[in-house]
Amino acid sequence: MKKNSGKDNIVGIHAVRILLKVRPFDVYEIYLSDINSSKFEEIKNEAKKNSIVIQKISNNKIYEISNVKSHQGVLAIAKKKEEITEKDIPTYLKSRPENNILLILDEVSDPRNLGACLRICDAFNVSAVIIKDHDSVNINETVKKVAAGSAETTPVIRVKNISRVLDMLKKNNYWIYGASDKASKDVNMVKFKTPIALVIGGEASGLRKKTIECCDYTLKITMNGVVESLNMAVATGILVNTIYSKIK
């Protein structure tokens, strides 16, 4: 694990509520636009239980601090989460059930896509999300707001080299499945071997050639309508749901 110095700004009712349940000991203070509003009742109760100070703040100030318009009138200041480093991945994965899925996003630039992917991962108890340290969006306030608390429950592991990580996963008995519109088999036709690492390409160009070469198998979502492709998060939801239903 790698300790992160500094602070996180977390906005959104669900994101702050889950933060208080998962790691209240890391929360420094909470700001609300309306301290008397009943919509913040659970947040106020959790804060009181953990002796966390709540202060009043304007909606404009929350936006100024977080740069998130849909902040829902709540801001938490917390210690940054500890990170799992690349070298710790094998040790971490040994603590996870063998039939769990590991999601790898080979370049993700849209914070809303990453946040939505984290929500999907939380819903299906995906082990972790691996992203590139460069050419990928930072885990910023927008990601955490869209993730609605799942940024606290699903680890995001930043790595320097996706191909190197895929090689390491193979050495740890993982089967690598890459999502590509050039694949010959639909996801529903694939018989999966566990444990699984599912690799999904970036929003603009999909999986890179070098990444595809590292995959054991490729698969696709058959498109039957006039639309040729799906949003990254939508595709992730379909693939993870289909794989999960086949291996559970």
Q: What is the mean predicted confidence (pLDDT) over 61-70?
A: 94
Residue 156 is inside which H or E element, if any?
strand 156-159
The CATH superfamily of 7-79 is Ribosomal protein L30/S12 (3.30.1330.30)
Q: Exposure string (b/e) for 109-130, b if CB count within 10 Å is 16 or more?
A: ebbbbbbbbbbbbbebebbbbb
As a whole number of angstroms, the longest Cα–Cα distance in the chain is 57
Regarding predicted confidence, which is higher, 201 or 166?
Answer: 166
> In this model, does residue 227 exceed pLDDT 90?
no
Q: Given pLDDT bands bounded at 50, 70 and 90, which one contains residue 2?
A: low
Cβ pair 97, 126 in contact under 8 A: no
Which residue ranges make up each domain of the chain? Answer: 7-79, 86-247
- How far out from the chain centre does Cα 164 lie? 21
What's the pLDDT at 5?
54
**How much is the mean pLDDT over the chain?**
91
Instruction: Give CA separation, 100 vs 61, 85, 208, in Å.
Output: 41, 20, 25
Fold classified for 86-247: Alpha/beta knot (3.40.1280)
Structure-token match 């971490």, residue found: 92
Among candidates 117, 137, 133, which has minimal Cα distance to 232? 117
pLDDT grade for 164, boundaries at 50, 70 and 90:
very high
pLDDT at 83: 86
- For the segment 91-129, what is each residue's pLDDT rounded down to a tens digit? 998 888 777 899 999 888 899 999 999 999 999 999 999
In tens, the pLDDT along 13-26 reads 999 999 999 999 99
